[in-house]
Amino acid sequence: DITTEAISALALASNLEVGLKALKVNPFTGWGIGGHPFAFDTYAPPWTAKYSLLLGLCKQDSGSLGIRLISETGLIGFFLFLLFLYEVIRRALFALKEAEPSSSASIPLCIGVLISTIGVITRVLSRYGSYYSLVFWVSLGLTSSIPKVLGSCSCQGELEIAGE
């Protein structure tokens, strides 16, 4: 019988192989959102057939969001997603750097949110294969609000005009 840790490692290894093979076939656009199960059916390593639990698990969960993005959206989607994450973090860092002394009570909280979000992003991209991780999206939402919380939103003027 196979242990939980072993099945998790096997799932990640098999999905990595599937993702790399899918990348060779569809390097720029991937299989499309929701296409990873089809890629797994097509490119699954032969040794996965020995583990029925692994087959079901790998079709539903690619082992990491990074692998899933590469498989389903190709290099274009993967790099656009990374660019989006980079921009959210960059804006939060800029807001922390430019924070006014009056917001000093919020700064430690914002730093904690940012550090936590970086950890969550790392975990999700490397070991959690779902687009629907609530912790991921809530963390990202909190981090994206840091510029507004600290009062250094670069788009503040645009918001005031839109509110008129």
* Consecutive 10-residue averages of pLDDT for the chain (164 residues): 73 89 91 88 87 77 87 94 97 92 84 96 87 90 95 52 46
Radius of gyration of the chain (CA): 20
Cα 28 to chain centroid, rounded: 18
Helix (H, G, I), strand (E, B) or coil at 67: helix
**CA 37 vs CA 44, 59, 90, 163: distances in Å:** 10, 4, 34, 45
* CA dihedral for 88, 93, 97, 102, sign (positive or negative): positive
The model's pTM is 0.81
- Nearest 5°: the CA angle 103, 104, 106 is 70
pLDDT for 12: 87
pLDDT for 53: 77
